[in-house]
Amino acid sequence: MKKSKQDYSVKSKFNIKHLPSLLVSAAKSWYNSNPFNHAAVIAYYAILSLPALIIIIFNIVGSIWGREIVEGEILGEISNAIGQETAEAIRKMMIDDGNKKTSIVATTIGIATLLYGSTGVFFQIQNVLDVIWEAKPRFKNGILETVFVRLKSFGFILIIVFLLLISLVLTSLLSTFAENLKLLLSENLVKYIFIFDVFISLGSIYFVFAAMFKVLPNVDVPWRAVRIGALLTSLFFVMGKYLLAIYFNALEPGSTYGAAGSMILVMLWASYTSLILFYGAHFTRQYSKKYLLDQPEKIIE
């Protein structure tokens, strides 16, 4: 089964002056789609998927680049985004998982559970994106559709792993040779190199959103719309990440819930970022409707 190739002719040319009205129309579409309920569902599945997802990323990327380096980088990002206590809780979970000794059967069942669980959050994201694009299932058979979507979701996880690996390699190399670079190169050039590293991280975020908007929906979303939507979503995500970090550190919303505080913070973070993701998807949809003459096919056969 192949997606039909479409020539997405331009209906009208995008102008930066059109951006405010496009943002408003996307906001109206976003608000009318009941995003808070969808975000709550994503947050719930994020809690179920997070352990499996982290274990898979640690094991795949860690086997290539070193588990300790990967653990330090990922837990550092989690600590910056959600808080040190949440990062520590996840670290303990990883230690407990690594110390378990199980039989081959139990290990096989565990791997299958990990694969299924890790795809849950992306499975739900695809459902929301399909609603936004008014897409219908690829297969009439419900079982085949579920299997296909789960496989596609796991493929998306591998994309994230690949981008994370590239980002870790570049960041680690720059950190390792930082002092030597200062001796060999001018101070300004070293600053530019580290700025380049920041752009690599931002680029990774951009490609994750671009892949999400292009791969997950059951429609052939035009790249022209994907590029614009992913860029806007990436900017909002970075701004939101820093605002959420300030909010979590200043108000400590998880402290109210005691031992469950870490879980609540993960759910809050997943919920807030899902709202940003959904807005980006609606913006992509509105851009496609306004500026592209031919729209994506709603049914893929």
User: Cβ–Cβ contacts within 10 Å for residue 159, how many?
Assistant: 14
pLDDT in tens, 177-186: 555 666 666 6
106 vs 161, higher pLDDT: 161
Compute the residue count for the chain.
301
Output the pLDDT for position 67. 72
Residue 220, strand partner residues: none
- Give the closest residue to 154 by CA, choosing from 110, 109, 108, 120: 120
User: Cβ–Cβ contacts within 10 Å for residue 68, how many?
Assistant: 9
Predicted structure pTM score: 0.77
Distance, in Å, from the CA atom of 8 to the CA atom of 225, rounded to the nearest integer, reads 10
Distance, in Å, from the CA atom of 184 to the CA atom of 169, rounded to the nearest integer, reads 21
Output the pLDDT for position 110. 60
pLDDT in tens, 30-89: 999 999 999 998 888 888 777 777 777 777 777 776 777 777 777 777 777 777 777 777
